[in-house]
Amino acid sequence: MGLNEVNAREHERFMREALAEARLAYAQGEVPVGAVVVVNGEIIARAHNRRETLKDASAHAEMLALREAAQRLADWRLNEATVYVTMEPCPMCAGALVQFRVGRVVYGVDDPKAGAAGSVVELLREPRFNHQVEVIRGVLAEESRALLQEFFRALRAGDGRPCRSE
């Protein structure tokens, strides 16, 4: 087994954890996006969207996971961290990833409406910023896409969840 295959398996393993968080968001009527923060092969923080629950527009999975990781490490600098998130970060979350000095972000599905890792705008590797984040895209993208599609299909069917946008 080659190094790339080992890395791919590790990325999939942690993305499955992020997907588990996304499923929790779905169950709570939140847009199903989940994130985990990994340092040295260990998950140190996990979160899912809680924007509706907390009545807080900044309560995206990435933001909550980054805050938890910084508290756990007692340091806002997360240079050694890899953030796994089921959907491409939005501009707010991309800005936070840069500000927290995250080393790498691995995400599932592209966000053609608000993606800030290259789909709409490229903020994570902006050369004028003092920090750039390595980006790996498309890990378990179909699983992430299917969960999002199922959620929004249920909203359109009128199952009682309030309509919201990510």
Provide the annotated active-site residues: 62
Q: Contact, 15 vs 86, CB < 8 A?
A: yes
User: Do residues 26 and 32 lie in contact, with contact meaning Cβ atoms separated by under 8 Å?
Assistant: yes
User: Residue 129 contacts by C-beta under 8 Å, 6 or more apart in sequence?
Assistant: 98, 123
Gap between the Cα atoms of 60 and 113, Å rounded: 16
**Residue 129, amino acid:** F
Neighbouring residues of 133: CB distance < 8 A, sequence distance ≥ 6: 94, 97, 98, 102, 103, 104, 105, 124, 125
CA dist 37 and 110 (Å) reads: 19
